Amino acid sequence: MSIKNIFNKIDQFDKKYQKINKQYNCFTNNISDFGRKHIDDADGLLKGKLIAIKDNINIKDYPTTCSSKILDNHISLYNATVINRLINEKGIIVAKSNMDEFAMGSSTEYSSHGVVSNPRDVKKVAGGSSGGSAAAVACKAVDIALGSDTGGSVRQPAAFCGVYGLKPTYGKISRYGLTAFASSLDQIGIFANNTDDIANTLLSIGGLDANDSNTIDESIILNYNEKDITNLKIGFSKKLINELPSEMSKKYFNVINFLKDKDVSVENVDIDLLDLAIPTYYIIATAEASSNLSRFDGIRYGKRISSNNIEEIFSNTRSQLLGDEVKRRIMLGTYVLSSGYYDDYYNKALKVRNIITKSLIKHFLKFDALLLPTTPTTAFSKNEKKDNPLEMYLSDIYTIPMSLSGIPSMSIPIGNVDKLPLGMQICSNYSQENTIFLISKFLEDNFLKG
């Protein structure tokens, strides 16, 4: 794409920015001037692609609010590693996207910037916590968006909005510059409208980073276009699919039967321990959140509620400037880490996490990939679950096990139910993203377009 065409593409984004944001509220800031600064003649994997960045990922000299009142006035001091790598591959960063406050939520209703509307039905939520990124891709305001996935916050909104959403292997993408929620679970993920854009973005931003000791020291090679899907052995869970509403389960079985008709080996397998995933996740995630968010106290970061007493500064700042869901999770996390409860809750949750991980990984001794539901429902209505945290938490029941184990997983669109998108999760073993891309690309080219 020529420089002139890239500038024209950014100009078109600027012209429709206000209208799109009025419709869907998917952005927190237009930063297209940042994108313009980095346009040149050099080629790159992402040249000409417009990209939105979830507002918990730092871009130097631009706001990073995490959709929280406490960070309304915060300007980032440095670029996240993924930002520098997007620039190196000539991606055009044009906006920050809306999110649940500090990435805590499953509907993007817990945002200081207001709720995000689903482009497929504005009465429905876009999912969360990366709902703004999903909606921005779904309405085609941008080509690609980055989000963060702690328990399903990329895959669930991808399913709700009818786009592709990847959570890579833990450590595949550097978290340096991502505002921490739960460090052992957080991962930067990718949204796009096709498999190739997801894969090229992973190749662009993934890999070892000296600033993040958890990154994996291995080369990322894309070779999914060179492989034959009939060489794969794929598992699915009839039990889990049958638990879904009938119209949803029919769509999943349509995919499975299609693959069988194309001579792909697909077999039923029992997937257990999902009932343990939700409590295990929320004990670990809230414990880590209470620790990570202790820095937001009105002294070191963001806004402050003034007082002559430092303890009142802490308590007033956090009570007045943090939202209800964030405070709820901090209190839960503080409780499970407190003296007398650490072993009963947090330490036990770590042991159960290990059991869940081993249970999932054993399936890859037999199968190259697993096909699972992404969500138990299609996108729900605004305010339907906002006042019922337990119901909200259950919307991540199928995504959390992959987060706890750190294996890669991607939600792909497989059709509609009552005019709302439905997503299916493709999961594989550690660092086997190419297997996911192979299946995704095959379904994209044959099932969805067939």
**Whether 50 contacts 9, CB under 8 Å:** yes
Residue 85: per-residue pLDDT = 98
**Whether 308 contacts 432, CB under 8 Å:** no
The pLDDT of residue 26 is above 90:
yes
Residue 137: per-residue pLDDT = 98
Residue 450: per-residue pLDDT = 61
DSSP string, 127-146: -SSSHHHHHHHHTTSSSEEE
The distance in angstroms from the start CA to the end CA of the chain is: 29
* d(C-alpha 356, C-alpha 354), whole Å: 5
DSSP symbol at 285 = H
Model confidence over 213-252: pLDDT tens digits?
999 999 999 999 999 999 999 999 999 999 999 999 999 9
Model confidence over 51-98: pLDDT tens digits?
999 999 999 999 999 999 999 989 999 999 999 999 999 999 999 999
Model confidence over 115-133: pLDDT tens digits?
999 999 999 999 999 999 9
**Whether 222 contacts 199, CB under 8 Å:** yes
Over range 172-187, report the average pLDDT.
97
Active site amino acids: 54, 129, 153
The pLDDT of residue 410 is above 80:
yes
Q: 77: which residues sit within 8 A by CB, 6+ positions away?
A: 58, 60
* d(C-alpha 259, C-alpha 86), whole Å: 35
DSSP string, 402-429: HHHHT--EEEEEEEEETTEEEEEEEEES
Angle, helices 324-337/274-292, rounded to nearest 10 degrees:
100
Q: How many other C-beta atoms are found inside a 10 Å radius of the C-beta of residue 272?
A: 13
Over range 340-365, report the average pLDDT.
94
Whether the predicted model's global pTM rises above the 0.95 cut: yes
Mean pLDDT of the chain: 96
DSSP symbol at 53 = E
Residue 324: per-residue pLDDT = 94
The pLDDT of residue 145 is above 80:
yes
What domains appear along the chain, each with residue ranges and CATH number? 1-450 (3.90.1300.10)
Kindly tell me the burial class for residue 390, based on how many C-beta atoms sit within 10 Å of its own C-beta (0-12, 13-18, 19 or more). exposed
Beta bridge partners of 189: 147
Instruction: Give residue 340's pLDDT band: very low, low, confident or very high (50, 70, 90).
Output: confident
Instruction: Give how far Cα 322 sits from Cα of 111, 241, 419, 423, Å.
Output: 10, 38, 36, 32
**Whether 155 contacts 425, CB under 8 Å:** yes
* d(C-alpha 163, C-alpha 155), whole Å: 9
Q: How many other C-beta atoms are found inside a 10 Å radius of the C-beta of residue 242?
A: 11
The two structure tokens encoding residue 55 = 């507002």
Instruction: Give how far Cα 284 sits from Cα of 81, 151, 378, 450, Å.
Output: 26, 11, 27, 43
